[in-house]
Structure formats: structure tokens, C-alpha cells
Structure 1
């Protein structure tokens, strides 16, 4: 009912400034939320890997793992929480990087705690709607990352990646254009490593040293995105550290990179979306389903034809952006998505 109190959120605060962290913890607890406070990025990741959090509030400057690296890792977790990144005053470039990396919001210090608490509630609502829809569409698969495809070549790539995870003999290299689902596929491999295996995703641009990264993954799966930024010698050091830590190493890179041709690995190529037309309506429906709780991702026939006619140079990431931006343009959000909403120039 409209008079019911808003539901509390399960919140993780990662803040190395002790006084500020305690103040924020006390304020959010007083507003009815269930709050856990940690002092560094590593402890935050370990807590998030345990599951159960709706929202993570993370400072950017922290020891062990900074807030942007934590955002990257948290976004790749099954049943990922929404992440709100707190930056230093005037760090507009960092705020933009956080939003582009998938943060729910980026807030600059000093902030008003009442406004931050409102963002926490909105983030909890979005995650609740996202999980509700995922369960409705995917059933039990919603409890693990879903790599959705109807394309035979992509299914074969998925099978070969799963075989590599089962054997764990050499690092796996996922080769594909940005947006082809390399991170999602890597996340689906975790159950092959064991029910409780952790999953850590980091970018090569902000990755800690090889030994630290593999130990953080703790015998689970370490995904290194943007691996084209690594020299082969750096990749070899990562592989050696991963082997010592009994961690399965997965490198995500683009075609033509040195890492993609690195000997001693198992390389799996993911086809671009323009070669997988059957996946376009499937993925578009999933994006719509995540957008709003009262619909199940319906597309009008005209919208489906419009989507199939595009080349999608940005792959699934571009599809996500186009369909996600189209939904707010709909006057009737209970009706199938019209083609006009997808193409503002129509």
C-alpha cells in the first residue's frame, strides 16, 4: 500500500576514513537499513562475494583495491548489487568513469547524508526490480549469470569455454569485440570450478599486481578484462601466479591482440552480434525486462524488424544502450515497444 514504509536495504559501506564511515553507518542504520562497514576494497569484495547485499557504497581512494576496481568486480558478480561510488570533491572525471563502468550513481564529497540515503533506496528498488524480472524470464537460471544465445557458433564457443573451466590446465582467452559477452560468459564458468568458488573481474588498466590479483580470486576465477593492454610477459606472470594460487585465469581481449595469439592458452572466439541475428530479439527482450517490472520485454513486430536490420558494431552493449534508451520514450509502457521509440528520427 502507498502508506507502507519503504523497504530497508542491505548496504555495504567501503570507507577507509574511520570517522566518516561510522557516521554514515549510524545514519543509515537509524533510517532502518541493515549496514555493514569495511575499511578497504579487499574486505568489501570478500563481503560482496558472500552475497545478500542490495547496495554497495564505496569510496574511490582505498587501500588494497580502489573503488573503481571494486565496482568492476562487483558488477560481474552473480546477483550483483547496485554500486554507488563516492569521489573526492571536484573529481568529475572519476565520476564519469564510474558511471560509464556501470555505477548506479557517483556522488562527490562533501555530500548530504539524507540525499545519499535516498539514492540508496532508489538503488535498492532498481535491484529488486531487476531480480524480480530475471527470475520471471529466466527461472532458476536467474540465480547464476545467464549467457543467452540461440546461435550455434556461439553455443559451441560456450561449450569450449566450459570444457576449459572443467580441465583448468591452461588459461582461457576469450577473444571478441567489446560487447560480445566475454564477461558474462566468464561468470557462467564459476560453477564448473565448485559451488563456493569466488569470482573476481578486474580491468588490466587498474589491476593490482599479479600475485595480489590471483590471491584475491582465492582459488576461484580471475577475469582480466582489456587484456590487450598486457604484454605477453605480463600475461605469463599472471598465469604463473594463478597456477600457484590454484586460480583459473581468464583473459578477455580483442581480435588481433598479442594476448589473443599467445601460445600455451586455450583461445575461444565469440562471434559479433551482426553474425548472430537470432540473438538480437532474445537480448533485446532481456534488456526491456530489466527496464521495468510490469512488463516482460515485449517487442512490436516493427521494432523487431528495425533491430534485425542494424549491424550492431557495438554488439550487445550497443543493443543494451539503444533498447534501454527507447523504453522511457514510450507513452504506453504496458504495450509492446514500438519502432518509433527505438529510432528518435522517425
Structure 2
């Protein structure tokens, strides 16, 4: 019987969670013989860490464990945006716990001791459910014109191009620079690059270069030896070592000081690091993905960023447009956040009223996707009726009708959205320069007194389309 099931079942990625070593070993051997990829951990806390690091199709967990037990793990797993199915296993079965687990969303519930054939059957049926759900979701998305990528959803052509670029470059070792305003989802893209790469089994380590004091940055990146500085009571690995075999994500790379830029460049070129206070260099093996919300070309011109580091990091550039430039993405994002937060916050709202959706579509989102998610969470948490209404959304939000000053330094009586006004003015001037130069970008850059690289970045950031072959500049 097991042989037949092995032939029928597809290969899947399964996480086994049990505090008994013998049970972990038994399940691992059994499932690997069936052709599955299996990881086994001894508790719920470790399971959550592995789920943060990589996606799984199925979680098989014991019910009674110290710390984060099976029911708590189940609650946290099903609250995730794209949760795997969960099978509960226990030697202390009662009707009450079985019913509670199923109500919380467990796929099935098995009692120790069980036959190996039994677990194979349950796993096979669970994976059939996973495949059916994925296919149904794909067909629904296709009908609605929605695209998905590792936890992200979009409908706009601009984001479809981003998703396709990420899929193409993820399997390579190429350095990627992700560009976009704060809140556009740069870390989500970095995680997608990791999940779709051959380094998915390794760690994903992220740090924000703008949030770490300059005096600690070198130690944070490269580690230190005992006694390297006051307070260094023992050796400590940096993030380059922590990300060994995986992906290191350096967010807000534009905030890195010039001295640290030199040291980072050397680490990338030589693929070695020297801990602070150390005498020897050590090889490192991690893919480095960086992100910024700054105009690095302008920073180079101002002498604030090294051009050699820029060219090392920007082999492939992934530019995320702000949400206000892709309003067609608002509806699928609202629906996604509503579905997840309705579940996470324990609400049972039936849907979103047309008035509330209209509010979301009018809002201008200076904080981009992160702001949209916060607004949905606030509305879901405060809603007192059975539907999500506009009652708990801000009465006066920024809208697409935000005024732009007609002359420099002229401020409208009722104020304005500064970010939107600057973006609109920048778009207007760049478009005017392109019209005057008949679409020749190098000539337009000269008119605007910026570099060609800077103009190219601004065109991508603002979503301005220029006819191909119109440069006349190669």
C-alpha cells in the first residue's frame, strides 16, 4: 500500500514538529521514503522560525509540547498570509481537543500510535487539497487579472513586470538593487528573491543600515573578536556570517557612511571579511541584495555615495513604483489585507462595503502599501458592524486630487501633500523636457541638468514611458 501511495503522491516540503526525538526521526524517515523534502524541529518556536525562513506545503505537529504547543502553533500558522495545511498528532486525544483543533483550522487529527500507512494516506490527501486550492486560486486570479509573487499581489502592468524580473533573476547569483519609496515592499521583494533561489534552504538575514549607529555598523556587518572595543566581552559573528549559505538583505544602503562603503565594497569584491579587532580574513558565502529609497545617482554626484560600490550593487535594478501610480493594485491589496486581518484579529466581518472600497481607491497613500495595510488593520479592529465600512477610516485623507503649486514656493490656502506635489512637478518637468527633445533622453537630461543615469531612474520611478528607439543615443 505504501508503494502505491508513493507513486501517487507528489513531492512536497513538509515541516515536522515534535519534542520526542524518536517521533521526529520516524516521521522524517517515513516521509522522505515517500519522496518528500522534510525538516524536523523540536518545538513550536523553532517551527515558526523555519516558517519565516522558507515556505512549506504541510506542517505535522505534536499537540503537547513545552513552550509554544501544538494549538498555539496552529493558531499562528493559519494566521499567515498563505498558510500551509496543518496535521495535528497527539497521544492525549480527547474529543474536546480534536474539535478545537479542527475549528481552528487543522486539516486532520491523528492519534498516537498510528500506522505508517495511515500517515501516508493523510499526507497524500492533504497535498491533494493544497494542489486543488492552488489551482482554484490561480483560476480566480486569472479571471480577476491578479498576479501573485511570494506573498505579494498586483494587477498593474508595472508590478507584473517587476514580478517577471524577480522570477528571472532569482535563480542567478547576480547582485540586485531594489529601489522604491518607503513602504513599497522592498523587503518582500528581497524575500521573494531568496525563496525563488537555490539558497532557499539557507537563512534570510535583513538589517536596516539607517537604523544602526555608525559606531556599531562595522561590528554588525563583520562581527568582532573578544576585546575589540569596550564592552566586547566575547567574540560575535556579524550578519555576513549569519547569512552563510543564504541571502543577506541590506536595506537603506544609501544611508551607509563613506568609510563603511569602502569596507563593504572590499567584502563584496574579495568575498572575505575581517572581524573588528581581528588579524585574519575569513571567506563568506552569501548573496547580497540591497535596497534604497534614495536617488543614488544624485548621491554620487554630491559625493555621498561611491560610484564603484554603486556599480557593484546595481547589476540588476528592481524599481517598485509608488502605490499612487498604480491605483489598480489597491483593490486586490485591500482584499488580501482584509482577508488576513479579519482572521488574525478574530473578527467575522463578511466583506467590505462599496463606500469603504471607494475611500481606499480615493486615498493617495504617501506611505504606500505599508500605509494601506495599517489603514485596513485599523478599520477591521474598530469595525462594530458585520461589514467593513468607511466609518473607521480617516475623515480627511490625502486624495488623488491633491493640489500642486502653480509657482515655486506658492502654498495653497488649505495646504498640500508635499510628496505628491514634488512628484507631480518632477513628472511635469521631465515630460516637458522629453517633448522638447522629441524623446531623446540624453538631451532631456542636459536640459534638466542631471545625469543620464539619474533621468533613467526617475523615468522608472515615476512610471513615465518613452518610446523605444527614440533616444538617438544608442
| 1:291 maps onto 2:341 in alignment | yes
* 8 A Cα contact 1:175 1:269, kept in partner: yes
What's the CA shift for 1:288? 1.7
| 1:167 maps onto 2:172 in alignment | yes
2:182 to 178, 183, 188: 178
Structure 1 counterpart of 2:389 = 338
What's the CA shift for 1:214? 2.1
Q: How does 1:5-16 map to 2 (within 5 A)?
A: none
Structure 2 counterpart of 1:41 = none
Q: How does 1:18-167 map to 2 (within 5 A)?
A: 54-55=44-45, 77-78=53-54, 127-131=76-80, 134=83, 145-167=150-172
* 8 A Cα contact 2:199 2:247, kept in partner: no
What's the CA shift for 1:340? 1.5
Name the Cα RMSD after superposition.
Answer: 4.2
* 8 A Cα contact 2:178 2:318, kept in partner: yes
* 8 A Cα contact 2:191 2:204, kept in partner: yes
Going from structure 1 to structure 2, the CA distance change for 1:223 and 1:269 (only over 3 Å counts) comes to same
Instruction: List runs of 5+ in structure 2 lacking aligned partners.
Output: 1-16, 20-38, 57-66, 86-129, 138-148, 224-237, 273-282, 300-304, 398-474
2:319 to 249, 262, 269: 269
Instruction: List runs of 5+ in structure 1 lacking aligned partners.
Output: 1-9, 12-28, 30-48, 57-72, 81-116
Going from structure 1 to structure 2, the CA distance change for 1:213 and 1:155 (only over 3 Å counts) comes to same
Going from structure 1 to structure 2, the CA distance change for 1:122 and 1:240 (only over 3 Å counts) comes to farther
Task: Tell me which of the two structures has the higher relative contact order, counting C-alpha pairs closer than 8 angstroms and 6 or more residues apart.
Answer: 1
SS class of match (1:187): helix
Aligned length: 247
**Higher Cα Rg: structure 1 or 2?**
2
Structure 2 counterpart of 1:94 = none
For residues 342 and 362 of structure 2, the distance between their equivalents in structure 1, rounded to whole angstroms, comes to: 25
For residues 306 and 148 of structure 1, the distance between their equivalents in structure 2, rounded to whole angstroms, comes to: 20
Going from structure 1 to structure 2, the CA distance change for 1:164 and 1:128 (only over 3 Å counts) comes to closer
What's the CA shift for 1:140? 5.2
| 1:326 maps onto 2:365 in alignment | no
Going from structure 1 to structure 2, the CA distance change for 1:224 and 1:329 (only over 3 Å counts) comes to same
Structure 2 counterpart of 1:239 = 268
Structure 2 counterpart of 1:216 = 242
For residues 195 and 249 of structure 1, the distance between their equivalents in structure 2, rounded to whole angstroms, comes to: 14
TM-score (norm 1): 0.58
For residues 183 and 316 of structure 1, the distance between their equivalents in structure 2, rounded to whole angstroms, comes to: 12
SS class of match (1:224): strand
SS class of match (2:159): helix
